[in-house]
Amino acid sequence: MKSFVTFLFVVYELCLCGSQGISAGTPVFVLKGEDLLLNVTKAVVLGDLILFSWKFNDKTFVLTVNPRNNPDVSPNYTRRIEFHVNNFSVKFKNLQEADSGVYTAVVITLVGGETEAAKYKITVQDRASLPLLTVSSVSDNSSSCSFTVTCSSQDSHINSTFTCDTRTCSQEGGERSERIPDTFLQVHQSRGSIICNHSNHVSWTNTTKIIKDVCHQHDVPHQPNIVPIILGVFFTILILAIIGAVLWCRRKRRTRKRVIVENTIYDTAQVRDKPVAPARRKDPTAEEASALPLSCIYALVGPKTSPPAPTETRNTAQLESV
């Protein structure tokens, strides 16, 4: 019986909230400075139309349209709106926070009287501010670390405590969040970081702190970078290989020259007979010598090692020897 009464109470609350949402209009959130188009959700019959208007907070007329479709824009919205006569929609430009409120499209006809053709609850929001994340109450020892963080925005703040060992971190109470009107604040951990989120219906932003900067238990041992070592060994081997190749080439070149020198055969110098220049005068001794065979002359004279004298003088010496 008690559960049945609870069920009826929940249904009543849901129906009440639904009726309030309908009466308040369709909620729409807009970023400050942007444009917004509002459409009419019910068809408007021009033949029965007496007056059509867009109203702000049920008090201020944004514009009115008579049966001849001549729109009349309020001076406060001149150059700030665009009206589409064919479908009675209106576009608001460069919305500011002061433009937040309820916008209603009202139709007055001969048959139906006054009815609402559309209703919107507009909320203009600025971008979410960057939250502030601070760390306090740090308790650090060799085996564990405990610290408290505060995540705060312009409107609210939340606290959360974290406990870490050498491997993992845990958040007391789990993920913390707080919802204030049209704003959401949250603090949680992810991938070794503490994240503070601040968001609204049109934007979000966050601030992050690395856990190992707070708790040194999470410091990862420094791994040596082996790339420079490998490169150093490689270039050392390369330089030694180049030096060895140069020395081997020089040694091979010297060995080759030595073999060539040792295998060289030199010919015995021979004296060749040179043509005798014609004598200017007739010499009987020369004629006699010329009559002898060359072999006899070579046996008597022998090879001459000194540089040869002029032709005429050398022939005279040979003749005298004979």
Q: What is the pLDDT of residues 53-107, one digit of tens each?
A: 999 998 899 999 887 777 899 998 988 999 988 888 999 999 999 999 999 999 9
317 — pLDDT class (breaks 50, 70, 90): very low
Q: How far is CA 228 from CA 233, 235, 237, 298, 306, in A?
A: 9, 10, 14, 83, 74
What's the rounded Cα separation, in Å, for the pair 194 and 192? 7
Q: Which pLDDT does position 273 carry in this prediction? A: 52
pLDDT by residue (tens digit) across 121-169? 999 999 999 999 999 888 877 788 999 999 999 888 899 999 998 888 8
The count of structural domains within the chain is: 2
210 — pLDDT class (breaks 50, 70, 90): very high
If asked whether residues 50 and 109 sit together in one domain, one would say: yes
> Average pLDDT, stretch 8-26?
45
**26 in a domain, yes or no?**
yes
Q: Which pLDDT does position 21 carry in this prediction? A: 41
If asked whether residues 111 and 27 sit together in one domain, one would say: yes
- The more confident residue out of 202 and 269 is 202
> Average pLDDT, stretch 114-118?
90
If asked whether residues 120 and 137 sit together in one domain, one would say: no
- The more confident residue out of 312 and 166 is 166
251 — pLDDT class (breaks 50, 70, 90): confident
Q: What is the pTM of this model?
A: 0.55
- Domain enclosing residue 37, as ranges: 22-125
Residue 296 pLDDT exceeds 50:
no
CATH code, domain carrying 110: 2.60.40.10
Residue after which a domain boundary falls, among 125, 147, 175: 125
How crowded is residue 195: how many other Cβ atoms within 10 Å of its Cβ? 17
**8-45 in b/e burial notation, b at 16+ Cβ within 10 A?**
eeeeeeeeeeeeeeeeebeeeebebeeebebebeeebe
Residue after which a domain boundary falls, among 218, 251, 281: 218
If asked whether residues 198 and 117 sit together in one domain, one would say: no
315 — pLDDT class (breaks 50, 70, 90): very low
If asked whether residues 120 and 31 sit together in one domain, one would say: yes
**185 in a domain, yes or no?**
yes
**169 in a domain, yes or no?**
yes
